[in-house]
Structure 1
Amino acid sequence: MPAFSPIALPDPPRSRYRAPLHHGLGLALAVALAAPASASDNPPTGRDKRNDDSVFELGSVVVRGKRSQLPPNGEVVLTREQLDALNRETVGEAVAVLPGVNLSRNARNEDLVFVRGFDPRQVPVFLDGIPQYVPYDGYIDFGRFTTFDLAEIHVAKGTASLLYGPNTLGGAINLVTRKPSEPFQGDLRVGAGSGGERMAAANIGARKGMWYLQAGLSWRDANSFPLPDGFQDYKRVPTDTGDERENADRSDRRASIKIGLMPNDRDEYAIGYVRQDGEKGNPVYTGTANQGIRYWRWPYWDKESLYFIGNIGLGATSALKLRLYEDRYGNGLDAYTDASYSTPILSTSFPSVYEDRTRGASAELAFNTFERHDLRLALHYKEDRHEDRNPRSPDKRYRDVTTSIALEDGITLNDRYRLRLGASHEQRKAREVYFWPTGSTSANNALAELTRDVGEDGQLFAGISRKTRFPTIKDRYSARMGRALPNPNLKPETARHLELGWRGQAWTGARVEATLFRSSIDEMIQDTQVASTACGGMLCDQAQNIGEARHRGVELALQQRIGERVQLGGNYTWLDADNRSNPAIPITHVPRQRLFLHASWAPSPQWEAVATVEAERGRTVPYSGSGRSAFIPLDGYASIGLKGVWTPHAGLAIEVGGRNLGDRWYELSEGFPMPGRSWFANVIYRF
């Protein structure tokens, strides 16, 4: 198990976006089917403990080394067992249990993840190493990505590998899928909870000879969620006066399938397809401001990915990993005049239809030719297309092409010291733009990390890196509903990271990690006002490279086993994020202090209790509807969770639990309450 893990254990008013993936990966399929056939070993067994063969290692970007109890350099890993133990059903909920990571929920009813103060545009998300972030604005809604078909989640921070490709300014999050390790295996689960919440999921894997198949289906649905004790809607015309949140329904469906071929010990080829369809309400602001109140609904939020990944052995000391992929994303947004949601707003902005498409490829060549060197060369190509459609305005089309080359070398200096060096060059060109000029920009990145083994499983580490992020299509060209002047000449944001830490066994049964970090960000993209009559007045907003920021902090993590029945652990993060260019405008949505604690007690093989505590303080957020420069500090909170698990016989688990048991009223964005006390019950069968 990786070190320092948190616990061991209606028809829309227009057609839904359903464009098929009909291009692209025929060559990949041909390569896979033409691979040489030879007998393979029987799949490994031993389900009583975690088996790395259940993880789709081709989906990893950084491979775990010989000291397998430690995570890869620069990464922390959440396993399938940890996701189940903590009932983390979405990626946003899952990664928020890690040090340095926090969750936010904005006015668009999106779950956003921040890593050491860096927002989702600066910490891209990957699925088996394939980029998943939306090309137009760089964001994804982490609440739409479920975890049922995942084997692991890898979170890398400032010294994230350059092999991920462009835009890893603050790190990277890689969702690694499952891979069967037995002839037939899987799990089935159903559940229900407060607010009309319902869930069902099935994941099945099979291996026969040199072939394997992994497939998954999941469905999550809810009508609403309970409001906390003491909640009050402060609007002049309140919309939330009952016990449950209005317009907070959601429905998410996900299907995935992967077919793989392993003709020998070194070669492996896999084709995967993932489709997710979602729709959601958008709860209305409930704070004291009386401007900017939205009555929105999202009739669809759909995404599908088709990809090929292959690993080809080249002689005794080299290998080539190939990735080919096509990804499509579409969403619809409807706006209404009031909370009855009966009269739609029809304008040049609504209804809004976004359609994005990405095609790309990468090649990673690994050389172990030189003694004590693990040398890797990676090439990336990515084409992003965005189309903005509205029946009352012209269609707007954009196309970006991003390329990069990265070189990274892991050097074993001696039995205790290892050095990781890397450098990359990246380029982005705007090939098609609506109305405005095209342009191009480039960036360079570098990293160095030194580790020293201490004892049997301890490690000292120090790292320094320079990372960049290209401005998105929205950053450069969005007029923001007529309020802004585009800026095609935006430059990349730049961050310089430093970190120093130690991890290992501090005393019997305990594993500890302590990290100091500092990041200096330059060329931050921020809005300023410029003289222009293009926005209907004398001034326009415009995004410019004018910002400077500094993030610094401490991360502490502890895991303690007491005998065979009790495990305790948790992590604490202190983060000081300063806007150096304009201290009057704070860095928002990032708590100054965050704590996550957990405990599990198994009095017998059939029974287990799991308790969690999440607490934070020092979060500052924009004050909704009040203007650009108004901000408000949110109250701190502590949320307690508890569940009991009964295992009547091997493979079957029945669990009942609750979240926010203190029914605390807290918010992650001003005017948007989080769920109050809620209950859930699940039945899980593993085979």
Structure 2
Amino acid sequence: MDRTIATLALAGALAGPQAALAQDAGGVYNLGEIHVTASGSSDVNVVPGAPANTSARAQTAPFQSATPAPLGGDTVTAEKIDAFGKTSLDKAVELTPGVIANDGAGSRNEQLVFVHGFDRTQVPLMLDGVRIYLPADNRLDFGRFLTGNIAEVQIAKGYVSVLDGPGGVGGQINLVTRKPTKEVEGEVGSALDFGGPGWLTGQRAWARLGTKQENYYLQAAGAWDYSRGWAMPDAYQGNSIQGTGLRGHSGQRDTSLNLKAGYTPNATDEYSINFLRTDGEKGAPYAVNYPINSQRYWSWPYWNTQSLALLTHTVIDPTLYVNTKLFWNRFDNALDMYSNAAQTLQNSPKAGYSPYHDWSLGGSVEVGKVLTDWDTVKAAFHYRRDQHNEQSQYFTTNTGSTGGCTANVVCYIAPRLTSTEDTYSLALENTIHATPTVDLVQGFSYDWRDLLAAHILDSGVKPYAVRAYPAQTDGAPNAQGAAIWHYNDTDKLYLSVSDRIRFPTLFDRYSTRFNSTLPNPTLKPERAVNVQLGWEGYVAPRLKLASDVYYSHVDDMIQTVNLSATLSQSQNVGKADFVGADFKADYAVNEDLDVGGHTALIHRTLAIPASSTVQLTGVPAITGFGYVSWRPLTNLTLTPSVQIAGARLTQNVAATAYFQTGAYAMLNFQAEYKALVNLSFFAGGKNLTDRLYVLTDGYPEPGRTFYFGAKATF
């Protein structure tokens, strides 16, 4: 291979998240989209619990199989998700170092995710490269996203290409769905969940059917997950708020539907329409250590998201491509608030019904051009319009009505509130192929937003009036750079620096949170500078190692500050510094035995005014994961694993003090028996030692659980 082809192939694979040079059957190099592993680089995956290319799910392709692994990040494959029984996104992401989940939302019963210490507002969530964004507050619940139709989860840590759009100050998570590769293919499966002494606590099922023809493909996939609750650990003694047995109000239901149609007129171009809908409902457990009459009695009768997207990839000539994305997203959410713990009565100021009906629409265009054998340029433009709509209902005269009220009958419907905002990003990325093995990447973007309308309720008058905030526009630049050295065919060393901003949400700036928060329209964006040095490679033919160290500095960090016992506000509290390191190892001892794991260290500090007491919560200083995958028989795989975490800072339920909690070592196990080539049975357990531990004050984690199921592929 001559220098021109070698440098172009390498540069295309590493220059950004969308473009690479793909070699077709005739040896002609086209500016297409392929995964980094297809370009001949080092990402040879060790799949725990399955020899290469034997997993049923390994035979299906991800929808965007072209998307390279993020620089300095990691990819969690479907095979890993299956091997460890990770059925939802919040559990799946913990299979990579530096990423942890936490139910830190307390009474909201939301599963949070932190990437290198950055939370869900600072780490965009994407579906096949299209952002999932909640227009009001972007308080995504990662536990609502099922993994049954996920080919891989791509996790960027620190460095997120400016070509991907605004908001990625601390990382990015991209859910890559599967697409068919055969004329007829599919999968169907089901499982039962058990807790405590053997109670049936839930059941789940999933199915997929697809076809790949010469010039098109079609697929339909769905998943369903129902739980009536989870069992408390035996060590929990119980009290008047929460007894032993099933956790009160911990039940939930989730369904998802994914439809996909694609047109592939030739070897390089692809045009697809994709539809995803998730429907959910959930309860919200009560804090076990706080007076029951002081708690929130909440539940969500529906928590639904919907996405419709048109994605295109067109190769104009061997050196020029164009990608476009058009999308329309909906988010429908309702919160029921009750007056009593049994959730049967609504007749007090704390009772209400708060529905959100939000939508987003927009798109992006990206163009990549190979200028010379040593220079590749890419440019992208992103646009998104977000609209938030809410109209709360109340059950007492204290809120807005001037007449009498009847229990459990809506007494007052507040005025409809609508907020609308446009967000833009213009990005440029250039890759210099300094040598056949070294690439230098420079990126620049400018993000800006236009607030068209923002409304809140004025609770100072009755009936409530609508207060409008003036329109405003603001923006800021972003810059980044990276150097990647592939010093042999399997190993690489990289250094990246990224300087990005994150605009505060509508919720951060304008929400009154049921009259408990003071709006802050002048809230400034956060800015994070991330520096990361990493290495990955093979020190032996079957032993792959990866490590990185990083430093992040955040200016104008946004946190909730308590102004009094009953009033808070989102503020730019000061500066934060994160320092950490990740390490990962996978060793295929032989064809029947794999071992591996990862560990991560992080230290976060927050420099704030002496008058403030805000602290950073939810992230332990040390986490670890280890596994053994053993095949004592050709058709039997046994996979024990252990997950550990140190203590993490939490705030007490009354929001008056901070303390450390949550250290644990948890033993999990899964066994899979392949009865036939396309039929397998699996069983496993989580928290097998039934450890009692708490990540958020007042909210113990699930005790010992078991599951078993079967799946068939064709």
* TM-score, normalising length: structure 2: 0.85
Distance 1:610 1:132, change over 3 A: same
1:262-289 CA deviation, whole Å, 9 max, x = no partner? Answer: 0112221000111111111111111256
State the secondary structure of the residue aligned to 2:614.
coil
Residues of 2 paired with 1:608 and 1:432: CA distance?
A: 57
The answer (yes or no) to whether the contact 1:382–1:401 under 8 Å persists in 2 is yes
Q: Which amino acid is the alignment partner of residue 85 of structure 2?
A: N
The answer (yes or no) to whether the contact 2:636–2:671 under 8 Å persists in 1 is yes
The answer (yes or no) to whether the contact 2:510–2:519 under 8 Å persists in 1 is yes
Structure 1 residue 543, shift from structure 2 partner: 2.5
Residues of 1 paired with 2:244 and 2:346: CA distance?
A: 25
The answer (yes or no) to whether the contact 1:289–1:626 under 8 Å persists in 2 is no
Q: Quick check: 1:158 aligned with 2:158?
A: yes
Q: Which amino acid is the alignment partner of residue 428 of structure 1?
A: R
Among 556, 569, 593, the alignment partner of 1:542 is 569
The answer (yes or no) to whether the contact 1:4–1:558 under 8 Å persists in 2 is no
Q: Which amino acid is the alignment partner of residue 617 of structure 1?
A: G
What's 2:289 paired with? 287
State the secondary structure of the residue aligned to 1:375.
strand
Q: Quick check: 1:404 aligned with 2:404?
A: no
Residues of 2 paired with 1:48 and 1:112: CA distance?
A: 30
Q: Which amino acid is the alignment partner of residue 207 of structure 1?
A: K
What's 1:167 paired with? 167
Structure 1 residue 648, shift from structure 2 partner: 1.3
What's 1:31 paired with? none
Residues of 1 paired with 2:344 and 2:596: CA distance?
A: 50
The answer (yes or no) to whether the contact 2:649–2:661 under 8 Å persists in 1 is yes
What's 1:614 paired with? 643
The answer (yes or no) to whether the contact 2:337–2:351 under 8 Å persists in 1 is no
State the secondary structure of the residue aligned to 2:91.
helix
Among 324, 338, 341, the alignment partner of 1:339 is 341
State the secondary structure of the residue aligned to 1:455.
coil
- The 5 Å alignment of 1:593-612 reads 593-612=622-641
Structure 1 residue 315, shift from structure 2 partner: 2.5
- The 5 Å alignment of 1:15-94 reads 54-57=61-64, 63-64=67-68, 71-94=69-92
Distance 1:52 1:398, change over 3 A: farther
What's 2:523 paired with? 490
The answer (yes or no) to whether the contact 1:74–1:161 under 8 Å persists in 2 is no
What's 1:589 paired with? 618
The answer (yes or no) to whether the contact 2:578–2:603 under 8 Å persists in 1 is yes
State the secondary structure of the residue aligned to 2:508.
helix
The answer (yes or no) to whether the contact 2:70–2:155 under 8 Å persists in 1 is no
Distance 1:546 1:284, change over 3 A: closer
Q: Which amino acid is the alignment partner of residue 94 of structure 2?
A: A
State the secondary structure of the residue aligned to 1:178.
strand
What's 1:28 paired with? none
Range 286-295 or range 124-133, more displaced: 286-295
What's 1:390 paired with? 392
Range 113-122 or range 668-677, more displaced: 668-677
The answer (yes or no) to whether the contact 1:291–1:625 under 8 Å persists in 2 is no
Structure 1 residue 233, shift from structure 2 partner: 4.3
State the secondary structure of the residue aligned to 2:391.
strand
Among 580, 597, 600, the alignment partner of 1:573 is 600
What's 1:222 paired with? 227
Structure 1 residue 291, shift from structure 2 partner: 7.4
Distance 1:175 1:591, change over 3 A: same
The answer (yes or no) to whether the contact 1:523–1:547 under 8 Å persists in 2 is yes
Residues of 2 paired with 1:611 and 1:176: CA distance?
A: 27
Q: Quick check: 1:520 aligned with 2:553?
A: yes
Distance 1:50 1:396, change over 3 A: closer
1:415-453 CA deviation, whole Å, 9 max, x = no partner? Answer: 221112111000011011112222121121111111112
The answer (yes or no) to whether the contact 1:526–1:547 under 8 Å persists in 2 is no
* TM-score, normalising length: structure 1: 0.88
State the secondary structure of the residue aligned to 2:288.
coil
1:279-327 CA deviation, whole Å, 9 max, x = no partner? Answer: 1111111125667412211100111111100112212311111100000
Q: Which amino acid is the alignment partner of residue 100 of structure 1?
A: G
The answer (yes or no) to whether the contact 2:560–2:571 under 8 Å persists in 1 is yes
Structure 1 residue 96, shift from structure 2 partner: 1.4
Q: Please report the RMSD computed on the Cα atoms of aligned residues, expressed in angstroms.
A: 2.1
Range 242-251 or range 368-377, more displaced: 368-377
1:197-246 CA deviation, whole Å, 9 max, x = no partner? Answer: 10110012201220101210110001111111211446xxx232131111
What's 1:14 paired with? none
Residues of 1 paired with 2:160 and 2:244: CA distance?
A: 46
The answer (yes or no) to whether the contact 1:438–1:488 under 8 Å persists in 2 is no
Structure 1 residue 389, shift from structure 2 partner: 1.1
Structure 1 residue 347, shift from structure 2 partner: 4.5
Range 439-448 or range 407-416, more displaced: 407-416
Q: Which amino acid is the alignment partner of residue 565 of structure 1?
A: D
Residues of 2 paired with 1:322 and 1:199: CA distance?
A: 36
What's 1:268 paired with? 270
What's 1:372 paired with? 374
- The 5 Å alignment of 1:611-650 reads 611-627=640-656, 630-650=657-677
The answer (yes or no) to whether the contact 2:598–2:625 under 8 Å persists in 1 is yes
State the secondary structure of the residue aligned to 1:93.
helix
Structure 1 residue 53, shift from structure 2 partner: 7.0
Distance 1:345 1:411, change over 3 A: farther
Distance 1:650 1:53, change over 3 A: closer
What's 1:560 paired with? 587
Range 479-488 or range 201-210, more displaced: 479-488
What's 2:453 paired with? 432
Q: Which amino acid is the alignment partner of residue 422 of structure 1?
A: G
The answer (yes or no) to whether the contact 1:334–1:352 under 8 Å persists in 2 is yes
State the secondary structure of the residue aligned to 2:371.
coil
Q: Quick check: 1:499 aligned with 2:532?
A: yes
Q: Which amino acid is the alignment partner of residue 175 of structure 1?
A: L
The answer (yes or no) to whether the contact 1:55–1:176 under 8 Å persists in 2 is yes
1:445-475 CA deviation, whole Å, 9 max, x = no partner? Answer: 1111111123331111111110110010001
What's 1:419 paired with? 440
State the secondary structure of the residue aligned to 1:368.
strand
State the secondary structure of the residue aligned to 2:322.
strand
Distance 1:360 1:116, change over 3 A: same
1:502-534 CA deviation, whole Å, 9 max, x = no partner? Answer: 11112342111111101000011234577xxxx
Structure 1 residue 395, shift from structure 2 partner: 1.5
Structure 1 residue 670, shift from structure 2 partner: 1.2
Q: Which amino acid is the alignment partner of residue 370 of structure 1?
A: T
Distance 1:395 1:124, change over 3 A: same
Give the share of equivalent positions with the same residue, in percent.
Answer: 31
Structure 1 residue 74, shift from structure 2 partner: 3.5
State the secondary structure of the residue aligned to 1:574.
strand
Structure 1 residue 175, shift from structure 2 partner: 0.6
What's 2:9 paired with? none
| Aligned pairs, number | 631
Distance 1:50 1:654, change over 3 A: closer
What's 1:26 paired with? none
Residues of 2 paired with 1:337 and 1:243: CA distance?
A: 25
State the secondary structure of the residue aligned to 2:435.
coil
Range 289-298 or range 418-427, more displaced: 289-298
Range 166-175 or range 282-291, more displaced: 282-291
- Which stretches in structure 2 are left out of the alignment for 5+ residues? 1-36, 38-42, 195-199, 394-411, 456-467
Structure 1 residue 605, shift from structure 2 partner: 1.3
State the secondary structure of the residue aligned to 2:90.
helix
Residues of 2 paired with 1:441 and 1:5: CA distance?
A: 46
Residues of 2 paired with 1:580 and 1:52: CA distance?
A: 50
Residues of 2 paired with 1:232 and 1:286: CA distance?
A: 11
What's 1:29 paired with? none
1:115-150 CA deviation, whole Å, 9 max, x = no partner? Answer: 011010000101011111212112211111001111
Structure 1 residue 86, shift from structure 2 partner: 1.3
- Which stretches in structure 1 are left out of the alignment for 5+ residues? 10-45, 65-70
